[in-house]
Amino acid sequence: MIIEPRMRGFICLTAHPDGCEQNVKNQIEYIKSKGAINGAKKVLVIGASTGFGLASRISSAFGSNASTIGVFFEKPPSEGKTASPGWYNSAAFEKEAHKAGLYAKSINGDAFSDEVKKQTIDMIKADLGQIDLVIYSLASPVRLDPKTGVLHRSTLKPIGEKFTNKTVDFHSGKVSEISIEPAQGDDIENTVKVMGGEDWTMWMDALKAENLLADGATTVAYSYIGPSLTEAVYRKGTIGRAKDHLEATAFTITDSLADINGKAYVSVNKALVTQASSAIPVIPLYISLLYKIMKEEGIHEGCIEQIQRLYAERLFSGKEIATDEKGRIRIDDWEMRQDVQDKIAKLWQEATTENLAEIGDLEGYRNDFHNLFGFGFDGVDYKADANEMVAVESI
Ligand SMILES: NC(=O)c1ccc[n+]([C@@H]2O[C@H](COP(=O)([O-])OP(=O)(O)OC[C@H]3O[C@@H](n4cnc5c(N)ncnc54)[C@H](O)[C@@H]3O)[C@@H](O)[C@H]2O)c1
């Protein structure tokens, strides 16, 4: 079938299998071009199909020749209906990994559930024995608590008072004011339940209980801080409370891994266009200004560049891992540079529908958003018939 983008707000209903494959191949080429990383060899990535998790899987496999198990929650294709992009990404990843002689298997299901944890444990036992790196990169709006059966929904709300600021509809380029009502009732607890560290702990406990973590095993989860411009809705909002919890969880996991010399880290990453971040109000305007300035300064990075730097210059540099005063690895260091933030704060005041395409990188935002779904890649013939029924080899 001919597959075209069908945009609905901050999601696209279609995905292009060949474009997703091209996206994965480009990321693999980037990692290869940067040279070998002396990293972990047996890697579990939870949230492995898009964004930072996919970049982590690619960095481990093609930077360190690692065997990888990827867990994700994606929609497979059906005749005449495309899969979700993470499905096609994972199909392409496995194809390339297998071609390169690398072990790569995937599990498609709810990572919050006991069943998927059990399935993963069985796979590690059968195939890899022990794991030396666990990347935790889930971004989800809901979590069914496997112990209580309660379905928790996360929210993206300010805490205490209503927040009013500028935002942009990145499809139309319209800059407008948006007001978000503050969290009420159980919004904070629910968001912490979904995006906090509880499930990360459950994964690490389950793996350790089965003796599936190698001596010196490392686990890393991803967080975000961002500037004061967005803090009411992000870092000081409901999602920020979840990130506080996730970051605190790194310490309790490190304690629980002490007897195997294991360690848990949080890496604070840069703001990027992913399916998760485009759903957050205000953030798209911030990102379009951020991209413009970081590109001008020659310091722009995507997910793959970020994770390559995390691996090569932090986690596996052979030197002591540099962290901030709260024990976090910072690869948002270039985003948070004072000169970058000062320029954004100034542009933020000036931004209007009329000037945003010029003072911000709206086009870069849109390109990245299209790319998430496999659209807009050079080398892909979008007018040609594409086969939507692509399989993930191991599933
Ligand atoms: N995008 C950003 O700007 C940004 C910046 C810093 C940190 N982060 C953090 O990075 C992490 C990953 O975010 P992302 O932006 O790469 O998101 P993403 O939406 O691209 O990826 C989310 C992944 O989680 C998987 N997933 C979601 N629900 C699942 C479930 N129930 N079971 C199994 N898999 C499930 C998806 O399949 C996908 O692989 C998050 O913790 C996010 O907060 C994101």
With a 6 Å cutoff on the Cβ, whether 210 touches ligand 1 is no
Tell me the average pLDDT across 227-256.
96
Judge whether 162 lies within some domain: yes
- Residue with the smallest CA separation from ligand 1 atom 10 is 222
Distance 358 CA to ligand 1 centre (A): 30
Q: What is the pLDDT of residues 266-300, one digit of tens each?
A: 999 999 998 878 888 889 999 999 999 999 999 99
With a 6 Å cutoff on the Cβ, whether 27 touches ligand 1 is no
Q: What is the pLDDT of residues 83-118, one digit of tens each?
A: 999 999 999 999 999 999 999 999 999 999 999 999
Judge whether 390 lies within some domain: no
Could you give the residue numbers annotated as active site? Answer: 234
Distance 158 CA to ligand 1 centre (A): 21
Task: For residues 3 and 16, give the distance between their C-alpha atoms in angstroms, rounded to a whole number.
Answer: 6
Judge whether 178 lies within some domain: yes
Question: For the domain that residue 39 is a member of, what is the CATH number?
Answer: 3.40.50.720
Judge whether 380 lies within some domain: no
Judge whether 2 lies within some domain: no
Q: What is the pLDDT of residues 366-378, one digit of tens each?
A: 999 999 999 999 9
Number of domains in the chain: 1
Structural domain boundaries enclosing 341: 7-372
With a 6 Å cutoff on the Cβ, whether 271 touches ligand 1 is yes
Q: What is the pLDDT of residues 37-92, one digit of tens each?
A: 999 999 999 999 999 999 999 999 999 999 999 999 999 999 999 999 999 999 99
- The CA-to-CA distance between both ends of the chain, in Å, stands at 23
Return the pLDDT at 275.
80
Judge whether 377 lies within some domain: no
Judge whether 299 lies within some domain: yes
Q: What is the pLDDT of residues 162-215, one digit of tens each?
A: 999 999 998 899 999 999 999 999 999 999 999 999 999 999 999 999 999 999
Q: What does pTM read for this prediction?
A: 0.98
Distance 280 CA to ligand 1 centre (A): 13
Return the pLDDT at 11.
87
